[in-house]
Amino acid sequence: MKKTLLALVVAIGFSQAANACTGITLATTGNDHIQARTIEWGHSNLNSKLIIAPRDYSYTSTMPDHKSGLTWVSKYGFAGISVSDDKFIAEGINEKGLTAGLFYFRGYGSLATYDPKQTANNINDMDFVRWMLSQYSTVAEVEAALSKIKIVTVYFDEKGQPSPTAHWRVSDKQGNSIVIEIMDHGKINIHKNTAKVLTNSPDYNWQVTNLNNYINLHPGISKPQQINGVEAQSFGVGSNFVGLPGDISPPSRFVRAAFYVNSAPILKTAQQAVSQAFHILNNFDIPIGSEFNDKAHIPDLPSATQWTSVIDQNNGELYYKTMYNSTIRRVDLATLNFNAKQEYIQALDNGKFSYQNVAVK
């Protein structure tokens, strides 16, 4: 495990811009709630897996010095997608419809100081999603439980510096959604996800305030006008949102995602919302190489966006597609065996570029 963690931290330090997750929230007129996100990692393959975790399963969080931290037994089964290590769940949904996911928070996340003499209630930051999904059914339950644990870093480097950490999006199928940010050496900040968007740094309040810079943007086409005797008119659709930032930085992606969520059509069914979520997030697929200054260091990956997931909370469905295979796959929680004795772990794809031939008759 130590080797895996070291590789993870080296990758984080090597390529800052490659960690560019974008999350959105959609809802239908029938109160179906959809949580969707991308996960980017342009340095190397995250070797993400589909994890099916059962009820009544024992977990122990490993501390940065490899001591045992918090131990707990799962109350609910869940389905999730891991990153780097099968223990580290990046996004998932449990059988009660609670979803949780981590988003890179470099330079702003600052966890509580680790004390090796007091570890009984300690959980490392990469275990936090698993802890929430396996224990709780609502956002309110998660909030109430935060005071019972201490979230610490998963790894210290050779100089004793903690690894960069995350902030987290947590939602339940009643429509409650929060962003958890831990800053200033362990201070927990909880924000209602009113913008229905989450990316990376800076902090959530800054990102929401930054939306004030783009209140001039609207869907549609600008009306013609006279400019010093010249009849000026739009070249085509979209002229009302000229100025929408198109780069891949976290603030720009936050603004762009908020705009697309806000301009989405009225969605009547969960299936419509799932489809819309995938189409919105297609705008955030980062081509490999765009985040590197030197082309000599571009890794052999088809995309920096390694996978995209969409979760239908009310119907208990996890959809995903990957950088190798754009076919959308679905995991129906109603069909899963949450009474199993072990976790079920499966590769997301076969690691090869996939396509389907068209049969012409």
Instruction: Give the model's pLDDT for residue 134.
Output: 98
DSSP 199: -
Percent of the chain residues topping a pLDDT of 70: 95
Taking 70 as the threshold, does the pLDDT of residue 330 lie above it? Answer: yes
Q: Residue 141: pLDDT band by 50, 70, 90 thresholds?
A: very high
Angstrom distance (rounded) from CA 56 to CA 54: 7
> Please, which residues bridge with residue 332 across strands?
317
Instruction: Give the model's pLDDT for residue 245.
Output: 96
246, with CB counted inside 10 A (0-12, 13-18, 19+), is exposed
Looking at residues 128-153, what average pLDDT do you find?
97
Averaged pLDDT of the chain: 92
Instruction: Give the model's pLDDT for residue 16.
Output: 44
Return the closest-CA partner of residue 103 out of 254, 263, 262.
254
Taking 70 as the threshold, does the pLDDT of residue 48 lie above it? Answer: yes
Taking 60 as the threshold, does the pLDDT of residue 11 lie above it? Answer: no
Looking at residues 230-257, what average pLDDT do you find?
93
Domains in the chain (CATH in brackets) are 19-202+270-347 (3.60.60.10)
Q: Is-contact 42 95, C-beta < 8 A?
A: no
End-to-end CA distance of the chain: 53
Three-class secondary structure of residue 170 per DSSP:
strand
Instruction: Give the model's pLDDT for residue 295.
Output: 83
